[in-house]
Structure 1
């Protein structure tokens, strides 16, 4: 399929969706994703309860809630594009509430809304905040995402692929949240991480009460640990592999590796999609 034909079909699909009888009027608010988020919270808390009661093992609970976390991300992603409010200021407060409730579940912060807007404005440019997701090796990406979720480093912070690789090589990724590192590199916007701080504090309060030790262990597995898994899944399958050219794709499965635009930025690939030598592991 030629690139011009692919783009034309994308435009035709978008137009067909807008003119569909089921399409919302421009002034309407899309309540479907927020209702999905209610279901996600119900399912997420039910899984945690089952783990706390011993009816489900912690590992299974973590993986199920990680999948639910990816679904929650899809909803907050809607909010970054204002597809719930449909750019109607009247619905903006509701949309912002949905964004923050979805963010709370997976320890995202308000910085993602700014970073995602910047990504679309500067896609694959040096200032694209998503470059770290596509132009670092998988070991570096894994370490960065793990510590990003654990720290208050803002999503979209100015961490370049080179900086991430150097920090990982020196074994310093775990120190990203240290006061001097945060101040020197400007990695935290405290106004953006209020809800993330609230979530972390809630976990600390729960852990401090011996009477809730079983619930604490369940929540650690099905909320905090599942959040780590959500970050990894999103980093790979939302931000890294699916951004493909759309040209010359003959097999949908192979397209994730052979025709992926972003994956070509990974050091372990060359332009024809063949894997090169593996990367040395991080010191961490």
Structure 2
């Protein structure tokens, strides 16, 4: 009887071994899976990369009163009060600048011709939150055109794209009666890179003088606008040349003294 009980104990012990191995194996698999899941859940989520905005093309604006040649000023405003122009007030001329000229060409009994020319520059930097300088300039161009269209008292407003001035440009013409005379207006709003150029030219005949042709006013405005747009690139080219010139870098003597 004792021998039978001892034998039974040994059989049960041997039978239990595979069961324990299986349980241990399952426990090991389960632990690996939990660790894998924990590792996956603890890994930081993949963030979408945000593309950097394109850098602004221009860092400078031209001197607004020198952006249009003296020859053109003399032609468009024959009797300008000041050929040097009157600069607009600006707290930051690298971002916003302007200049204007006006004059009355008095022809005695034949009457007088009045002319007024104004040019404004606005430059936009690229901003990760606001967009590229070029995009911000394009948005401003749209705003400037909307403002021009709503000029108080304007009549016969006409608007259309114009080629050959910057990367995009639009011309707006209209008639306006003020000081008892009929004025012809032409405004060109153009974008070059991250800068917007807004040029307005108008004229009227006084004391019986003939009202200037709208076509002539527009033609002269386009000519001046081309010069103003070109002045933006020239100003930045000059700035680049100045920075790259030998005089802009420290001299050998100054280096040795440091």
Range of TM-score over shorter length: under 0.3
Which structure shows the higher helix fraction?
Answer: 1
**Alignment TM-score, normalising by the size of structure 2:** 0.28
Of structures 1 and 2, the larger Rg is shown by 2
Which structure shows the higher strand fraction?
Answer: 2
